[in-house]
DNA sequence: CGTGTAATATTGAGCGCGCAAGCAATCGTA
DNA sequence: TACGATTGCTTGCGCGCTCAATATTACACG
């Protein structure tokens, strides 16, 4: 079936809507940058991107700790995803589990001193890589545009 | 260890570089839009985003077929990733494997008639969802900006 | 007081994908 | 023609994540 060559594309009669172009470019840009930065972070420091993001977010939180459910929302992960992410970070001592005295359901994710030290050790190099990726092909104005416009995409508000 | 509350964040002395803000927003925006659109596509049509993208790309290719390695590059997947993706699509008859007569190493991914029909069935609704996601919060000008600027991020050129 | 409902977190099953390794076919070079 | 290097593709293994189900705690309301 369908072994014939059809010389002309069949579905591209109409122009591609701008939103769809934006969507596919978002997909591709995410895939390549993610692969690059993840590989580097993994090779140099044994962290995934989400490991790093979790440490970073916790370091900004009051008391360096957060309810796991809130961390999940910030990272755009499901609760089970955050459980497994934190399991890894707890296993290597960068985060520890802490109870909440007034609500026994909640467990905090608490950045340890080792976790903070690790973040300090990693962050400069990683931010450098991120800047390299973006600043290599985008002008400062274009980066600002990206920040502004991505901020309006669902989930991009951060 | 580190059970004390430290009232002030410790690592946020300097301002966040714009490129880093762009990066985290790209991560979050991708995660939320992807989750939403993937769930919808999966529930309504049993396809993942990459399934759809593969069908879409093949439908634009000459003769509705492509070398697997080229498809991998377009999708920003590794060759092994594309093997597994196509295995699924072949199993349900949307794509079929075709040999290349002049180079026995290459195997084409060939869109079947069923695959083209499926794409036609799915594409309108899916594009509508994509447009809804983006056009809900972004003006046409902002979407154009997104297209232009994402086009300069590594991998976003396509 | 119970009792139903919601919120928090975890677990098991399964999927998508990358990495490393391997095989087969092709090409370049002498 | 022979042989090493390269290219295209697949496979085994492992990781990160989601979904569905479950346990536990909190809360609202009769």
B117 touches chain A (CB under 8 A): no
**CA-CA distance, B113 to B120, in Å (whole number)?**
11
Kindly list the distances between the CA atom of residue B10 and the CA atoms of A20, A57, A116, A155, B6, in Å, as whole numbers in the listed order.
Answer: 41, 12, 9, 26, 8
A64: chain B residues, CB-CB within 8 Å: 2, 6, 10
pLDDT at residue A6, as a whole number = 44
Contact B59 A134 (CB under 8 A): no
CB–CB contact A11 B116 (8 Å):
yes
Starting at the earlier edge strand, list the strands of the sheet with B65-67.
B65-67, B107-111, B95-99
Contact A125, B104 (CB under 8 A): no
Spatial distance between the Cα atoms of A35 and A51, rounded to a whole number of angstroms:
15
Cβ-based contacts of B127 with chain A (< 8 Å): 17, 20
Question: Is the separation of the CB atoms in B54 and B85 below 8 Å?
Answer: yes
The 8-class DSSP code of residue B61 comes to S
Q: For B48 and C27, how far is CA from C1' in angstroms? A: 38
Beta strands in chain B (DSSP E): 65-67, 95-99, 107-111
Average pLDDT over chain A, rounded to whole? 92
> What are the 10-residue block averages of pLDDT along chain B, 158 residues in total?
46 80 97 97 97 98 96 97 98 96 95 97 97 96 97 87
- Contact between the CB of A105 and strand D at under 7 Å: yes
**What DSSP state is assigned to residue B16?**
P
Instruction: Band the pLDDT of A5: cuts 50, 70, 90.
Output: very low
> Taking phi first (over 0 means left), then psi (-120 to 50 degrees means alpha), and beta for anything else, what does residue A51 get?
alpha
Instruction: Scan residues 27-66 of A and list those with Cβ closer than 8 Å to B.
Output: 27-36, 49, 53, 56, 59-64
Compare CB distances from A6 to B31, B63, B150 and report the shortest one's residue.
Answer: B63
Chain-chain contact of B133 with A149 (C-beta, under 8 angstroms): no
* φ, ψ for residue A111, nearest 5 deg: -70, 130
Q: Is the pLDDT of residue A7 over 50?
A: no
pLDDT tens for residues A13-27? 568 999 999 999 999
| 8 Å CB contact between A81 and A74 | no
Question: Residue B11's pLDDT is what?
Answer: 52
Which helix (H) or strand (E) element contains residue A106?
A: none
Is the confidence at residue A35, as pLDDT, over 90?
Answer: yes
Phi, psi (deg, nearest 5) at residue A151: -65, -15
Query: Mutate which of B10, B27, B77 to test chain A, going by most A C-beta atoms within 10 A?
Result: B27
**pLDDT reported for residue B7:** 47
- State mean pLDDT over A80-107: 96
Q: How far apart are CA A37 and CA A125, in angstroms?
A: 11
Burial class (CB in 10 A: 0-12, 13-18, 19+), B76: buried
Q: pLDDT-based confidence at A109, cuts 50/70/90?
A: very high
Strand D and B30 CB separated by under 7 Å: no
Taking 70 as the threshold, does the pLDDT of residue A68 lie above it?
yes
Whether A2 sits inside 8 A of B149 (CB atoms) is: no
Looking at the predicted structure, is the pLDDT value of residue A126 above 70?
A: yes
Return d(Cα B12, Cα A87) in angstroms, integer: 26
| Residue B108 DSSP one-character state | E
């Amino acid at each position: 079936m369908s072994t014939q060559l059809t010389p002309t594309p069949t579905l591209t009669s109409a122009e591609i809507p701008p939103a769809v172009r934006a969507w596919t470019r978002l997909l591709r840009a995410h895939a390549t940058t993610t692969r690059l930065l993840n590989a580097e972070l993994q090779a140099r420091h044994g962290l995934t991107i989400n490991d790093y993001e979790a440490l970073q977010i916790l370091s900004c939180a009051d008391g360096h700790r957060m309810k796991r459910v809130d961390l999940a929302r910030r990272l755009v992960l499901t609760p089970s995803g955050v459980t497994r992410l934190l399991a890894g970070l707890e296993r290597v001592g960068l985060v520890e589990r802490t109870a909440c005295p007034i609500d026994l359901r909640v467990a905090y994710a608490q950045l340890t001193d080792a976790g903070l030290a690790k973040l300090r050790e990693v962050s400069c190099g990683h931010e450098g890589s991120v800047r390299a990726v973006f600043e290599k092909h985008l002008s400062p104005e274009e980066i600002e545009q990206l920040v502004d416009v991505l901020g309006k995409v669902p989930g991009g508000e951060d």
